[in-house]
Chain A
């Protein structure tokens, strides 16, 4: 097991009280695999990423959690526990490439900054050559010219390639991609995903893909974890979960995806989309029992009282869900 995360819980102190952002989240990511972490906005996906990186906001408080990366354990409740891994064992690709590069330094300078840490002692010329090589590897056109250009001279997709080149240069064991294509055109999405996969195959790292798009997960990921209101409701291989979702929430999420070839009504307002009624529970007042109870279409009496454990789906070790219906009586 290349990467494992155990029992991660994060609270945010807000003026109105304490919000529980994550509760007991565990993940396992195999080396060379891509693990999709899906959920609605506010489900805590990005909090998982930033807790791993140790880049949470100041008002965040990690109450429990251990990460094991390449055989070494890190106690995430300690501030900056993984500081040593940043830019070496872990790298990250961000949601908004338009804002994730410094506007007043050239692409080359920013790439070489990564190398300063990764290959200390190497001279500027070597670093420049390595950086240019990385730009060529992520298939950015004219890498030599790009080195001296500033971020505003590049498109969003090109900037995201630059960030991917940064990740490539840092040769991480774990790459976290936080909604890497959300801010980009659909036409660029496939290219960017291809570069991320290319990077994974080149350095054999584990990838945690954070997204709200089940389409991306089913197309590119090996395994999937579904996050809802800070709890992991289901995890398994993409094939298992797609074929037989163990949790009603996962099933409903798949139902919400709109097939592109679906027949439409003549009057567009007559089109019916599947939605999950209701809202996420208030993170400051978590309900007892199952966290999804209020929006579930198959809940029964116990769901409001009993907090479900993580049960295997179809007696499969690698596929589990937190739903009382799976509990063997």
Chain B
């Protein structure tokens, strides 16, 4: 097989496993939601609902059918992108979710990009002179970033830059269509979300770099007079990024989790605040649809991570990694 054929086979096998994972996660999710105590109608309609209304809602939501039938309906409809209609707003649930998804994606990716742009150089600088005062100082900084909860960072940033200094907008996601306004609204939430990741990424990069620098091929480069900056910043870094990217993929779930907090504090419409509000309203069908989306996002993101790693390390694409 040529290299491009191998790469294609690699991506195809990954895609197949992605489909299986989404199906499995959806099934698990469906069963977990049914495990929640109490029935949907009484939570949603309150204690004084008439039995007729109750029966009506139960029938509308399909709760009078058998579990197997419900699962089949949910799965077959979800597979075609049909998550039903929201009982509260009478809008298609898919539309509700898709409306807020771009906001969350913008937040997550800008935070991740910010964290990498700041975190990777910090890790490289720390690894250049391990044990130096600069290394120790950066370690202290990184660890304090990691240990400060996103909640605290969000509130502090919010109080200083939005309320105190009036530099940046207080709440919302900005006017649709006004890019500059939307970007301004994005700054504080993404900094809040990124800060912990800056610490994480810099520590990961430093550790992976120091491991790589102890490998024998680094000695070869040194023996041929390649400058230490090129060795650390190019030859060792590319190899060191492989484990870093893998761990980032796993951590993406945490990123979405933290975005719930950030979206609520900055009153941004997004998947996080949608889940929060839907749980408060006991609107389980919406929660279910949101979580299917998050699972799909997480899995697709990890597929992207695998492809990035296959691009970084040719041995992974060749199946020898």
- Picked from A84, A104, A153, the residue with its CB within 8 Å of the CB of B239 is A104
Of A71-79, A91-99, A132-140, A278-286, the one with at least 4 CB within 8 A of chain B: A91-99
Cβ-defined contact, B217 with A55, below 8 A? no
**Bound-state Cα–Cα, A87 to B215, Å:** 19
Residues of chain B contacted by A83 (CB below 8 angstroms): 225
Cβ-defined contact, A86 with B219, below 8 A? no
Residues of chain B contacted by A104 (CB below 8 angstroms): 238-239, 242, 312-315
Q: Which residue of chain B is the closest to A113 with respect to CB atoms? A: B226
**Bound-state Cα–Cα, A153 to B218, Å:** 19
**Bound-state Cα–Cα, A88 to B313, Å:** 30
Within 8 A of A (CB), among B204-228: 215-226
**Bound-state Cα–Cα, A150 to B320, Å:** 13
B318 an interface residue at 8 Å Cβ cutoff? Answer: yes
Known contacts A152-B314, A152-B315; A101/B220 CB under 8 A: yes
Cβ-defined contact, B216 with A150, below 8 A? no
Known contacts A102-B235, A103-B313; A86/B220 CB under 8 A: no
B219 CB to nearest A CB, Å: 6
A157 CB to nearest B CB, Å: 17
Question: What are 27 inter-chain pairs, A to B, with CB distance below 8 A?
Answer: A55-B219, A55-B222, A86-B223, A87-B224, A87-B225, A91-B223, A92-B223, A94-B216, A94-B219, A94-B223, A99-B216, A99-B217, A100-B220, A101-B217, A102-B239, A103-B313, A104-B312, A105-B235, A105-B238, A113-B221, A113-B230, A113-B235, A150-B315, A152-B318, A152-B320, A153-B318, A166-B224
* Most central of A83, A85, A150 by chain B CB within 10 Å: A150
Residues of chain A contacted by B235 (CB below 8 angstroms): 102, 105, 113
**Bound-state Cα–Cα, A55 to B224, Å:** 11
- Picked from A91, A103, A105, A170, the residue with its CB within 8 Å of the CB of B315 is A103
**Bound-state Cα–Cα, A166 to B224, Å:** 8
Cβ-defined contact, B216 with A96, below 8 A? yes
- Picked from A99, A103, A117, the residue with its CB within 8 Å of the CB of B225 is A117
**Bound-state Cα–Cα, A103 to B238, Å:** 10
**Which residues of B come within 8 Å of A, CB atoms?**
215-226, 230, 235, 238-239, 242, 312-315, 318, 320
* Most central of B216, B220, B222, B320 by chain A CB within 10 Å: B220
Residues of chain B contacted by A99 (CB below 8 angstroms): 215-217
* Most central of B220, B223, B239 by chain A CB within 10 Å: B223
A241 an interface residue at 8 Å Cβ cutoff? Answer: no
Cβ-defined contact, A102 with B320, below 8 A? no
A37 an interface residue at 8 Å Cβ cutoff? Answer: no
Residues of chain A contacted by B226 (CB below 8 angstroms): 87, 113, 116-117
A10 an interface residue at 8 Å Cβ cutoff? Answer: no
A29 an interface residue at 8 Å Cβ cutoff? Answer: no
* Most central of B215, B216, B235, B238 by chain A CB within 10 Å: B216
A313 an interface residue at 8 Å Cβ cutoff? Answer: no
Residues of chain A contacted by B224 (CB below 8 angstroms): 86-87, 91, 113-114, 117, 166, 170
Cβ-defined contact, B217 with A100, below 8 A? yes
A53 an interface residue at 8 Å Cβ cutoff? Answer: yes
- 5 A-B pairs besides A94-B223, A102-B220, A150-B315 with CB distance below 8 A are A55-B222, A86-B225, A103-B315, A152-B315, A152-B320
A163 an interface residue at 8 Å Cβ cutoff? Answer: yes
Cβ-defined contact, B219 with A100, below 8 A? yes
Residues of chain B contacted by A114 (CB below 8 angstroms): 224
* Most central of B221, B235, B313 by chain A CB within 10 Å: B221
**Bound-state Cα–Cα, A96 to B242, Å:** 23
The digit string for A114-131, where 1 denotes a CB below 8 A from any CB of B, is 101100000000000000
